[in-house]
Structure 1
C-alpha cells in the first residue's frame, strides 16, 4: 500500500502499531513448515563426539606411529653414516668394490643381528614361566587337561613345525 504524502502524519501509538506490524510480517516465514534448523548451543569441550582428522600427519595406530618415528630416526642415522662414508671415499680417491660392499653391508648386518638377538631374548623371557597353580577348597573331582600348541616357521620356503604337548 502506497503511503500518501499529503495525508496527516501518524500519531505515536499508530506509528508504533504500524512498526510492530511491519516487523512481524518481515520475520514471519512465507511457508507453513520450516525447512531448516540451526542449533546455536555451544558444543562440549569433551564427550562422545567422534574424532576428526587434523592437519599434518594422518591418524595412525600407536604401533604405526612408533614405527614411523623409528624409521625417521634411522634415516637421520643413515644420512650421517652415508655422509661420513662419502667423505672417506672422496679422501681416498679409489676403493676396492669388495671393501665397499663389506663396509656398506656391515652396519646393516649388525643392526639385523642385534634385532634378532633382542627378539629371541624377549621370546625366551615370555616362555620361561610355565608353572600353573590351582587352589581348591573342599572335595574336588575334576579332570584337568592342559594342551599347549607352539608353531615355528623357518626358512625361505615356509616350513611349519607344530609341537603339541
Structure 2
C-alpha cells in the first residue's frame, strides 16, 4: 500500500480516509459518567437516610446581580401598575354627587375669597383721590414703515 496520495487506488483512498476520520474523532479522555446509581439497599420501612448530593455549580456574580435587579424592576413595575389601576378605577367610578362633595369646600373658599377681595377693592376705591397736575398731551399719529416681508407700526411720541 502506497501512502503517496497521487498513487492511491480508489479502495486505498477510501481506507485511508476512514482511518484518518477514526483517528481524528477518537476520544483521548474516557468519557465521564453523567449519571449516578445508588445501589445501597432501601430499608423495608421508615425513612431513608439522606444521601449527600454535592453541588458544584458556580453562578457568576454579574448573573446573580442581573437576577436580583430583574426581580426588583419587576416588583417596581408591578407596584406602578397596581397604583395606576387603582387610580383609573377611582376615576371610572366618579359620580356627580361625589364631584360636588369633593369640590364644595373649594367652592366655599373661592366664594369667601371673592367676597373679601371685592370688599377690599371698594374700600380702596372710596378713599382714593386722583389729582392730576400739568398739561395732558394726546398724540394720535401713527407712522408705518413696511420693509420686505415684515412691517412695523410706530405710535408717534
When normalised by structure 1's length, the TM-score is: 0.23
Structure with max Cα Rg: 2
